[in-house]
Amino acid sequence: MSQITDAENWKINQDFLEKAQPGDMIQFIRTLYSHWAIYIGDNEVIHRWGDNDGIGQTIGVWGNVTTIFGVQFNKAKITKSKISDVLKYGGKIRINNYLDSKWKPLPVTVILEKAHSATNQEGYNVLYSNCEHFATDCRYGQQ
């Protein structure tokens, strides 16, 4: 099986951008874990993001693992980013509203208001306050 080239990854991610709707949960697929965000339109997301979270920087495998458990996330905050900035160091993205069959999504205006109003809030805990919890709380009103 051949590896996906950067050009093929760009095509996959570009196809995503044409389908994403404001309020969608976005999964950024990484080597050791996934990062989650809420799509707000114009190729931007709001998400819980750390200064040294292993997503925006290359800090090695151990750095990526320790950030998952909150060691380097003590300064994580809710922020707005361009998708291209989140993807700067590779990976793939997909729309993944995986809880839609379990919980009814909130109206898009409410999802976006929840995401925007949380901007600049700080804090992280892998068990109850991570990027996926933020995205599910915005979309469904629960984690």
Of 130, 139, 113, nearest in space to 25 by CA: 139
Q: Decide if 133 is catalytic.
A: no
Going by the DSSP 8-state scheme, the letter that residue 125 receives in this structure is B
Of 116, 131, 133, 138, which is the active-site residue?
131
Is there a contact between 110 and 69 (Cβ–Cβ < 8 Å)? no
Q: What are phi and psi of 52, to 5 degrees?
A: -130, 50
Residue positions annotated with a catalytic role = 35, 47, 131
